[in-house]
């Protein structure tokens, strides 16, 4: 036990609880003995749990850690077959052949090798004892055949995942490490079996045929497991950084299926010759890649963008110079960034902000900073922060978050004490001011009469990146009119061979819907470009107040704009913010319902669609305390459901039918950015308890899906479903669900939401989440003093 002193204390990755170290070691995700009553009422038991030594996930030696990253856990150093080769000959220990503790009880077999295990193998009582301590280890003698057996018996619906929907025996026998596979024990239940499947799949991908596997790794508390995977693995899987060798992967895009889209292609701004030379070099170094490199023209018109529909390509992003320390040679390398995941393998606008919040929770500051650098580059070279960096997104943007994103990164790179951070924040604000003026408060997005802004991008024709049948209902009547196939009509319309003003109007709004990030919802269909939304105007209010603060702090309260040479002070920007606030109140606030509604600038009428984006008025600081209170009393009850906040009310969405299919940004779905912004807004206005309650709901839903469905983390959820919330059959389907054996990346903003939501949870709530206690029984069984912290 003296050795305990060497062990590092485990801190939960994202918790700010005052009792972090009290994580119990016996939380069993499935069939655990913990009940809501025990959790909430038996304080003696709780104290006992809390007085235990903290659970250890890291140790003096990373090879000792049952929760170390896959590269370590399944790397060559831990291969049992190497025991008789060079490691033993060199007298080195084989780290993973030891039985070792998860909780600090260091085994006496610490120094043994594989043969020691075999020779000194102990009886099964030892394994029972170790099991009771949570320290048991397995020896998987043949990874391939165990995987085959597991899938054959347990994956009865043959989707390469083990879930609660599979009808197998839910048990497999594996050898124990102590007996070097001689004795067998059973692994039972969906959660453990699916974790076994995940671990074997990863081990196989590392080329391993035999492994030792800690029971703790497949029986890990799911809250720990998911937050650990997000922080240590998912973020890495989603991170990209362009160099001479990987451009083929970055450029690949599954969204467009034309023959010309098969080859990777990069478009470079007309005035970036170094980048052009870089990509040409990459193409020459690997001719089999067939990388095509093209300059963009100086003026990028909607006609030009449409002309690229069949030859889509990646748009160049910001790069820095890198000097190879051994050769002294200088070359370019891209700033890192993280992609959302699934079909979205490029840098997105508002996803990046949400992702940055989560990256910073995991200390991946360079990636978050890299994304700000890319936005500065995009504003300079493409005139806006792009929907994403593909040619077909060149005309449109997404909800703007740059000022807040720059501020949070600034704080993490040294802030005021770091001259390069000051340089960074100044460049970011110069860019944000340019974006504010030339994109969001210029034509066609600005409505001169109200002074409010709308999503209203340029563009021509049918967006090529959408799933092929998305517009069939709209286009079908035209195939009848022109007596042609759908494909023929699409071409005729896109090429301008037929003029259909009603369709032009439809696609004007469709593009605006996509710029809003809420693609798609009946709230916006056929009308979006005419809506001054509460979403966008809240975000612009935040820009105005952030810019005022930045001018005061970093520009001596006098900002000379290098782009138009105008001079402004913080007071000018505060005035703009106040004016916007007044207009939003006048046109959008509805005291009776407690909602901020969108305002239709075309027909000059307030809408009545009840959307969760009403809470953005809290996130941005635009709402008054009184409005916040009314929203909570009247709007919140309409939007709070089992798994958190739903996009909109069922009433607003209206009936669904074959001709009116469900839309992914409508009831009954919930999205991470809505949760994240509402939590922060509520907390800022003094309603932390509500934020905590909503986050418990969201985390419960995510954890339950993760436990029951093979470690799944998806783009969006059905927040009204207690059984299979990840199942969303709308539009292009749910991203993140389509994996074989193991989910490797989750989904960007959902990953963030998990880490951010956990910051509201104390150890009691974490334990309840770990045993998947649904929100209602959890809240109902709280003691009165505990209820208060959830604002119940
Ligand atoms: O391909 C269809 C649409 O896909 C994107 O929208 C969705 O994914 C984005 C990335 O996660 C996200 O930013 C957006 O809010 C989602 O609705 C894309 O942004 C759309 O432009 C595109 O048409
Ligand atoms: Ca299955």
At 174 the three-state DSSP class reads: strand
Pick the atom of ligand 1 nearest to 396's CA: 21
361 is catalytic: no
Q: For residue 343, give the H/E element and its range.
A: none
Q: What is the pLDDT of residues 744-763, one digit of tens each?
A: 999 999 999 999 999 999 99
Tell which one of 344, 371, 388 to mutate to probe ligand 1, the residue whose CB is within 8 A of the most ligand atoms: 344
Find the catalytic residue in 519, 598, 666, 708: 519
* Alpha carbon distance 239, 337 (integer Å): 6
Q: Average the pLDDT over each of 13-27, 158-172, 564-578 and give the range with the smallest value.
A: 13-27
Residue 97 CA, chain-centre distance (Å), reads 36
* Tokens found for residue 765: 């709530």
Taking a 5 Å cut-off on Cβ, the residues next to ion ligand 2 are: 155, 157, 159, 161, 166
Residue-wise pLDDT for 683-741, tens only, equals: 999 999 999 999 999 999 999 999 999 999 999 999 999 999 999 999 999 999 999 99
Q: Per residue in 64-112, pLDDT tens?
A: 789 999 999 998 777 777 665 443 333 333 434 333 333 323 333 333 4
Tell me, yes or no, if 724 is annotated catalytic.
no
Mean pLDDT across 559-563: 98
Atom 15, ligand 1: residue with shortest CA distance: 517
Dump strand ranges (E) for 466-557: 531-532
**Least distant ligand from the CA of 155:** 2
Identify which ligand lies nearest to the alpha carbon of 341: 1
Domains of the chain, residue spans: 118-220, 240-409, 471-529, 623-791
Measured by CA distance, the residue closest to atom 2 of ligand 1 is: 466
- Per-residue model confidence as pLDDT tens digits over 506-558: 999 999 999 999 999 999 999 999 999 999 999 999 999 999 999 999 999 99
Q: Ligand 1 centre from 464 Cα, in Å?
A: 12
Considering every ligand atom shown, identify the ligand nearest to the alpha carbon of residue 728 and give its number.
1
Looking from the CA of residue 349, the nearest atom of ligand 1 is 13
pLDDT digits (tens, 9 = 90+) for 451-497: 999 999 999 999 999 988 889 989 999 999 999 999 999 999 999 99
Q: Which residue has the tokens 């000959």?
A: 89
Q: Percent of the chain having pLDDT more than 90?
A: 81
Q: Three-state SS string across 3-50, please?
A: HHHHCCCCCCCCCCCCCHHHCCCCCCCCCCCCCHHHHHHCHHHHHHHH
- The residue nearest atom 3 of ligand 1, judged by CA position, is 466
Instruction: Examine the pLDDT at 395 and tell me if it is beyond 60.
Output: yes
- pLDDT at residue number 467: 86
DSSP letter string, 703-770? HHHHHHBTT---SEEETT-SS-TT---STT--TT---SS--SS--HHHHHHHHHHHTT--HHHHHHHH
Q: Comparing 27-41, 282-296, 397-411, 662-676, which segment has the lowest mean pLDDT?
A: 27-41
Q: Give tens-digit pLDDT for 297-354.
A: 999 999 999 999 999 999 999 999 999 889 998 999 999 999 999 999 999 999 999 9
Which is the closest atom of ligand 1 to the Cα of 341? 11
Instruction: Check 515, 598, 715, 745 and give the catalytic one.
Output: 715
Burial bucket for residue 139 (CB in 10 Å: 0-12, 13-18, 19+): buried
- Alpha-carbon gap, residue 300 to 310, rounded angstroms: 17
Ligand 1: list residues with CB < 6 Å: 255, 340, 344, 348, 350-351, 387, 463, 465-466, 514, 517, 519, 732
Which residue from 385, 430, 374 is spatially nearest to 563, judged by alpha carbons?
Answer: 430
The residues near 77 (Cβ < 8 Å, ≥ 6 apart) are 63, 94, 95, 96
């Amino acid at each position: 036990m003296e050795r305990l002193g060497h062990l590092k204390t485990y801190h939960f990755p994202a918790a700010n609880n005052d009792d972090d170290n009290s994580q119990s070691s016996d939380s069993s995700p499935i069939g655990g003995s913990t009940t809501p009553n025990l959790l909430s009422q038996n304080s003696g038991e709780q104290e006992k749990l809390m007085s235990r030594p903290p659970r250890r996930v890291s140790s003096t030696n990373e090879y000792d850690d049952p929760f170390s990253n896959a590269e370590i856990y399944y790397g060559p150093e831990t291969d049992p077959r190497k025991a008789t080769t060079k490691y033993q000959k060199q007298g080195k220990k084989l780290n993973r052949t030891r039985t070792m503790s998860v909780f600090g009880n260091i085994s006496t077999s610490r120094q043994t090798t594989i043969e020691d295990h075999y020779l000194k193998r102990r009886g099964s009582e030892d394994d029972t004892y170790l099991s009771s301590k949570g320290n048991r280890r397995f020896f998987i003698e043949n990874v391939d055949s165990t995987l085959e057996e597991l899938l054959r018996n347990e994956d009865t619906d043959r989707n390469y995942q083990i879930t609660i929907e599979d009808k197998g025996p839910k048990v497999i026998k594996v050898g124990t490490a102590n007996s070097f596979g001689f004795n067998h024990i059973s692994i039972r239940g969906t959660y453990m079996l699916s974790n076994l499947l995940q671990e074997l799949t990863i081990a196989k991908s590392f080329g391993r045929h035999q492994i030792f596997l800690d029971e703790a790794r497949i029986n890990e508390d799911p809250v720990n497991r998911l937050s650990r995977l997000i922080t240590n693995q998912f973020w890495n899987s989603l991170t990209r950084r362009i160099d001479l060798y990987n451009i083929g992967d970055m450029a690949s895009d599954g969204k467009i299926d034309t023959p010309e889209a098969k080859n990777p292609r990069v478009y470079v701004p007309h005035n970036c010759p170094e980048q052009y030379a870089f990509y040409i070099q990459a193409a020459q170094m690997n001719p089999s890649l067939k990388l095509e490199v093209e300059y963009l023209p100086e003026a990028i018109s909607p006609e030009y963008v449409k002309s690229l529909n069949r030859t889509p390509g990646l748009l160049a992003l910001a790069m820095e110079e890198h000097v190879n320390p051994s050769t002294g040679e200088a070359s370019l390398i891209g700033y890192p960034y993280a992609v959302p995941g699934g079909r979205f393998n490029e840098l997105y606008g508002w996803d990046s902000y949400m992702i940055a919040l989560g990256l910073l929770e995991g200390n991946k500051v360079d990636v978050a900073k890299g994304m700000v650098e890319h936005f500065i580059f995009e504003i300079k070279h493409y005139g806006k922060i792009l929907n994403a960096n593909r040619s077909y997104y060149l005309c449109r943007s997404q909800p703007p978050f740059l000022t807040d994103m720059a501020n949070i990164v600034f704080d993490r790179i040294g802030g005021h004490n770091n001259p390069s951070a000051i340089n960074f924040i100044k460049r970011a604000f110069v860019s944000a001011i340019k974006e504010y003026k030339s994109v969001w408060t210029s034509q066609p997005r600005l409505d001169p009469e109200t002074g409010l802004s709308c999503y209203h991008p340029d563009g021509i024709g049918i967006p090529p990146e959408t799933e092929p049948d998305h517009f069939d209902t709209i286009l079908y009547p035209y195939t009848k009119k022109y007596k042609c196939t759908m494909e023929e009509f699409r071409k005729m319309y896109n090429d301008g061979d037929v003029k259909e003003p009603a369709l032009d109007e439809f696609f004007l709004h469709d593009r605006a819907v996509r710029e809003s990030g809420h693609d798609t919802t009946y709230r916006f269909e056929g009308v979006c470009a005419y809506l001054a939304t509460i979403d966008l105007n809240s975000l612009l209010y935040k820009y105005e107040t952030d810019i005022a603060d930045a001018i005061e702090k970093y520009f001596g309260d006098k900002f000379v704009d290098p782009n138009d040479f105008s001079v402004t002070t913080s007071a000018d920007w505060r005035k703009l913010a106040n004016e916007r606030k007044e207009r939003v109140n006048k046109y959008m606030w509805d005291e009776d319902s407690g909602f901020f509604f969108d305002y239709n600038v075309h027909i000059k009428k307030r809408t009545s669609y009840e959307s969760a984006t009403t809470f953005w008025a809290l996130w941005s600081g635009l709402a008054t305390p009184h409005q916040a209170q009314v929203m909570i009393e009247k709007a919140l009850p309409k939007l709070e459901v089992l798994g958190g906040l739903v996009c909109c009310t069922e009433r607003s969405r209206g009936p669904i039918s074959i001709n009116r299919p469900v839309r992914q940004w409508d009831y009954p779905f919930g999205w991470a950015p809505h949760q994240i912004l509402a939590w922060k807004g509520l907390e800022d206005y003094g309603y932390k308890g509500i934020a905590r309650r909503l986050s418990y709901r969201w985390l419960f839903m995510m954890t339950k899906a993760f436990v029951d469905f093979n470690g799944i983390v998806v783009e969006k959820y059905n927040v009204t479903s207690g059984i299979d919330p990840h199942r969303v059959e709308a539009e292009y389907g749910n991203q993140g669900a389509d994996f074989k054996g193991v989910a490797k990346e989750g989904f960007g903003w959902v990953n963030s939401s998990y880490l951010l939501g956990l910051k509201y949870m104390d150890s009691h709530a974490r334990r309840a989440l770990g045993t998947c206690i649904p929100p209602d029984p959890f809240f109902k069984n709280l003691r009165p003093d505990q209820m208060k912290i959830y604002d119940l």
